[in-house]
Amino acid sequence: MVFPRQKLLAQKREAAEARLAPLALPAGGKWITTAREDAKARLSAMGLPVRRDEYWKYTDPASLVQAEAPAAALFDDSDESEVFDTLDPLKIVFVDGVFDPEASDDLAMEGVEIALLSEAAKADLHWARDLYGALEADGQSPVERPLAIFNTAFAAEGVLIRATGQAARKISLIYRRRDAGADVLLHHVVKVEAGAEVTVLEHGPAGARFNQVMEVDVADGATLHHVRAQGRDHERRTAAHLFARMGERSVFKSFTLTANGAMVRNEAVIWLNGKGGVAHIAGATVGEGAFHHDDTVFITHAAPDCESRQVFKKVLRHGAVGVFQGKILVKQPAQLTDGYQISQALLLDENAQFLAKPELEIYADDVKCSHGSTSGEIDPVSLFYLRARGIPEDQAKLLLVLAFLAEALDEIEDPDLADDLRPRIETWLRRRSG
């Protein structure tokens, strides 16, 4: 039986109304207030997601939507060095979603302008006005993403980055947590001007419930590298949205490493709007038990000669659930598109689950698009080979798990970044198996 459309919309609006009632928009200057009011109105009309939404078929949005953030115990990660620290990045630290000037570096850097969203009223940040909430709004069609609208309306803080040349250092956004029950909202805008290049890193658990939006505009010939590691806190929840608009011959490469977390939904919406653009998005995930991890990706090829690549790998055990929804839409002008998509899960026991929905929608006739999705256990023949050489079973399995994730980690272009992350996965897996 089809659930009547009107009834579904009424239910979603009701959820939005309940969520919005106690909330007030953050204070700010004129243009940001206009953007927030617009978002709030859009959200009231659209409603918040409910389980019956087709786009939330595999992931129950209830805990991301409900009024109170479910409490999430703090996690002691003092057993490892700070992620990306070896790369000497420019650090921008947020504690429970609030900018921490003491812990952060000076925001001045050659080739890049950096400002905070809370300073958005400043006249010289007009470039941000044209992007804030704009890419998010574009991303509401053909699929609704109401949690991102919620973020546009209510995020009080975030970082505005405009790269005008070659960035002198990588920028690391660090999300620390002190509060066990807080909602944290951050909204970032990154504009990479023509020919400029910058790397944006993110790590840390952020909050008990983290709602994040990053809007990215990569102009002609510009390059943006994005690598993030989503904390280790077991009970935290995250809904992250990435919106990227890409110009001619621009390059955008994004990689996400996720360990633990009760609920993670990472959405990415990418438009290849200029000829010859290259977009790669990848993720490696390890989780177990009450762990639900959802990668939802929508890539639109709107211009000819572009390349897109999606590589997602998940290692799941003890009842963990992995979801992948990935779509490549190739519009009629996007001839000579090269699209690739792979999503794979390694299920370490019979209680783990992987749900995948790969989609291709192609209107151009001269394209190369492939997609694949697999889920399976550790290959018994490989395992025997390693054991026959004297490697104990646990250690052999660990080697094979790391090998499985390697294809996704190989997507990180900068070897220093990959070297920072790779040993962490091993430590995390060892700690969890102990």
Partner 1 sequence: MLNIKNLHAELEEDTEVKILHGVDLDVKAGEVHAIMGPNGSGKSTLGYVLSGRDGYEVTEGSATLDGVDLLDMEPEERAAAGLFLAFQYPVEIPGVGNMTFMRTAVNAQRKARGQEELSAGDFLKLVRARAKDLKIDAEMLKRPVNVGFSGGEKKRNEILQMALLEPKMCVLDETDSGLDVDAMKLVSDGVNALRDEGRAFLVITHYQRLLNHIKPDVVHIMSQGRIIRSGGPELAMEVEEQGYGDILEAV
Residues in the site for partner 1, rule: CB under 8 A? 380-382, 384-393, 395-396, 399-400, 402-407
Whether 305 and 269 have beta carbons less than 8 Å apart is answered as no
Closest CA to 341 of 262, 279, 288: 279
**Which CB sits closer to partner 1, 251 or 409?**
409
* Residue 126 structure tokens: 């007009």
CB of 432 to partner 1, least distance (A): 20
CB of 260 or CB of 344, closer to partner 1: 344
**Cβ at position 434, least distance to partner 1 in Å:** 17
Q: Which residues, at least 6 apart from 220, have a Cβ–Cβ distance to it below 8 Å?
A: 194, 195, 247, 248, 249, 250, 274
Please, which residue, 166 or 374, has the CB nearer to partner 1? 374
Q: How far is the CB of 399 from partner 1 (least distance, A)?
A: 5
- Which lies closer to partner 1 via its Cβ, residue 96 or residue 407? 407
CA dihedral (419, 158, 265, 63) positive or negative: positive
* CA–CA dist 183, 34 (Å, integer): 23
AA identity, residue 354: F
Nearer to partner 1, 149 or 405 (CB): 405
**Cβ of residue 346: shortest distance to partner 1, in angstroms?**
11
190's tokens = 């990154």
Q: How far is the CB of 395 from partner 1 (least distance, A)?
A: 7
Q: Are 203 and 145 in contact (CB under 8 A)?
A: no
Contact 150/61 with Cβ under 8 angstroms? no
Q: Least Å distance between CB 383 and partner 1?
A: 9
Give whichever of 110 and 393 is closer to partner 1, judged by the CB atom: 393
Nearer to partner 1, 13 or 424 (CB): 424
**Among 150, 215, 210, 153, residue whose Cα is nearest residue 185:** 210
Nearer to partner 1, 227 or 396 (CB): 396
Q: Where are the alpha helices (DSSP H) in 313-413?
A: 380-388, 393-409
Q: Name the residue nearer to partner 1 (CB basis): 50 or 386.
A: 386
Provide the angle, in degrees to the nearest 10, between the axes of the packed helices 146-154 and 5-20: 20
**Inter-CA distances, 175 with 95, 121, 156, 202, 203, Å:** 6, 24, 15, 8, 6
Q: Which residues are registered as beta bridge partners of 188?
A: 214
Q: Which is nearer to partner 1, 5 or 389 (CB)?
A: 389
Question: Least distance (Å) from partner 1 to the CB of residue 86?
Answer: 20
- For residue 408, the minimal CB distance to partner 1 (Å) is 10
Residues 6+ apart with CB under 8 A from 152: 35, 36, 39, 132, 133, 136, 137, 187, 213
- Give 147-180 as a DSSP string: HHHHHHHH--B-EEEEE-SB-SS-EEEEEE---S
Cβ-contact 222, 249 below 8 angstroms: no
CB of 282 vs partner 1, minimal distance in Å: 15
Give the shortest CB-281-to-partner 1 separation in angstroms: 20
